[in-house]
Amino acid sequence: MIYSCEEHVDIALDDIVDKYETYPVLSQIPVDKAAASCEYCEKQAVYMVANK
Ligand SMILES: [Zn+2]
């Protein structure tokens, strides 16, 4: 599972496909529950990309 900001969500999706060779599942993190930071920068994560 990868946490990502708005800007890096495309990279996160690609990474899941590359690493797990499976279809990525994108979900938005509720603003009030956002605690994680982006995997690729210092911003607060907005999306969560999981491998199913
Ligand atoms: Zn980012």
Where are the chain's structural domains?
2-50
Ion ligand 1 residue ranges (Cβ < 5 Å): 5, 7-8, 38, 40-41, 43
- Between CA 14 and CA 17 the distance in angstroms is 5
Residue 5 alpha carbon to ligand 1 centre in Å: 4
Predicted TM-score (pTM) of this structure: 0.83
Residue 32 alpha carbon to ligand 1 centre in Å: 19
Q: What is the pLDDT of residues 1-49, one digit of tens each?
A: 899 999 999 999 999 999 999 999 999 998 776 678 999 999 999 999 9
Task: Give pLDDT, residue 33.
Answer: 66
Number of neighbouring beta carbons within 10 Å of residue 10: 9
Residue 23 alpha carbon to ligand 1 centre in Å: 21
